[in-house]
Copies of this chain bind each other. A is one copy, B any other.
Amino acid sequence: MTLPNLDAAFSALADPTRRGILVRLAKGEASVMELAKPFEMTQPAISQHLKVLEDAGLVARRVDGTKRPRRLAKAGIEAMDQWLAMLRKALEKNYDRLDEVLAGMERPTIKTTTKTMRGENR
């Protein structure tokens, strides 16, 4: 796939084994056998998870003789990362705005309301 599909990408991350595979690949390229080892899973089971990650554009494979080492696929991971960065920036901006509001405030009742809002977010 060329265009990152956010539906498939986020759906692929909703599984702890698949997130574990990505954490392993973050350390560098690995074979299916190396990927299967820490999970106590059969190679076909791991291959199935790898297929989901490849179809979602998060993992790529390279041909090396009879081996097919897998690695992280930059484009797909960046697409998700950029989408989430947008939410993160929005949260930072909202909190800056809240700080401005607080700085201009004096009535304690309003302060209490704002405190409760912050508390819920912990």
| Chain B residue at minimum C-beta to C-beta distance from A63 | B116
Q: Does A39 contact B (CB under 8 A)?
A: no
Q: Within the complex, which residue of B13, B15, B16, B91 is in contact with A74, where a contact is CB–CB below 8 Å?
A: B91
Measured CB to CB, the closest approach of chain B to A14, in angstroms, equals: 4
**Interface residues of A: mostly helix, strand, loop or mixed?**
helix
Which B residues are in CB contact (< 8 Å) with A86?
Answer: 23, 26
Q: Contact size class for A? A: 35 or more
Where the two chains meet, the residues of A that have a C-beta atom closer than 8 Å to any C-beta of B are: 2, 6-8, 10-11, 13-16, 19, 22-23, 25-28, 60, 62, 71-75, 77-78, 80-81, 83-88, 90-91, 94-95, 117, 120-122
